């Protein structure tokens, strides 16, 4: 029997994107229900996810929320190239390094990207962008030395690319390269 999976998502939500990426990467069949996050949530959606956030994943009769946790659940439930089982040689270490990368990026760099995007004037944007680049260079790039073409020298996507704001990191990495070329 296959599992019934429904993803509640929004096209312009990067957190929902990562769940859709992992579902597709795992070749899982799922139904998509779009949630308009530009307006107050409907009573029907709030019955599914009282927090009103996307994504929400209905997995059989379970409602799962929080995109990073959903991705981890799916990677654990459907063994694949995305994440080694912890019981195989190197699996526990891979899980640790992916978790460390995601936590480091999220706690050391991403908030500076947000501050750049939401800064009120050009001078503040430049200042925050420079702080963001410095944080990426100092904290994130050292963790990516063996990451070609994908994390941990994998030849396919891993959970590192899918989770931890990685879809946003790709855009942010392009910003970093542009800013560096101006220096």
List, for residues 109-135, the tens digit of each pLDDT value. 889 988 988 899 989 999 999 999 899
Average of pLDDT values for 49-56?
96
Neighbours of 111 (CB within 10 A): 14
Residues forming a β-bridge with 83: 80
Distances (CA, A) of 168 to 40, 60, 79, 86: 25, 29, 25, 27
CATH number attached to the domain at 5-77:
3.40.30.10
Q: Is the pLDDT of residue 33 over 80?
A: yes
The band of 167, judged by pLDDT with boundaries at 50, 70 and 90, is: very low
Share of the chain above pLDDT 90, in %: 62
Band of the pLDDT at 177, cuts 50, 70, 90?
A: low
Q: Is 37 exposed, middle or buried (0-12, 13-18, 19+ CB in 10 A)?
A: middle
Q: Where in the chain is the domain with CATH 3.40.30.10?
A: 5-77
Residue 138 has pLDDT above 50, yes or no: yes
Range scoring the smallest mean pLDDT among 9-13, 87-91, 111-115, 169-173: 169-173
Average pLDDT, rounded, for the chain: 88
CB under 8 Å to 42, separation ≥6 — which residues?
none
Concatenate the DSSP letters of all residues of 120-153 into one string. SSHHHHHHHHHHHHHHIIIIIGGGGTT-SSSGGG
Per-residue model confidence (pLDDT) at position 113: 86
Model confidence band, residue 176 (pLDDT cutoffs 50, 70, 90): low
């Amino acid at each position: 029997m296959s599992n019934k999976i429904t993803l509640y998502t929004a096209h312009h939500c990067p957190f929902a994107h990562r769940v859709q990426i992992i579902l597709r990467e795992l070749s899982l069949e799922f139904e998509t229900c779009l949630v308009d996050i530009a307006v107050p949530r409907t009573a029907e959606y709030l019955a599914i996810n009282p927090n009103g956030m996307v994504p929400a994943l209905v997995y059989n009769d379970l409602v799962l929320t929080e995109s990073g946790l959903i991705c981890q659940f799916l990677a654990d439930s459907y063994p694949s190239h995305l994440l080694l089982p912890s019981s195989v040689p190197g699996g526990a270490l891979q899980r640790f390094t992916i978790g460390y990368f995601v936590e480091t990026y999220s706690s050391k760099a991403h908030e500076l990207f947000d501050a750049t995007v939401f800064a009120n004037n050009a001078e503040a944007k430049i200042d925050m962008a420079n702080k963001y680049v410095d944080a990426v260079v100092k904290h994130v790039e050292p963790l990516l030395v063996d990451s070609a073409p994908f994390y941990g020298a994998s030849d396919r996507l891993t959970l590192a690319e899918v989770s931890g704001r990685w879809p946003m990191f790709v855009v942010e990495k392009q910003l970093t390269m542009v800013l560096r070329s101006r220096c």
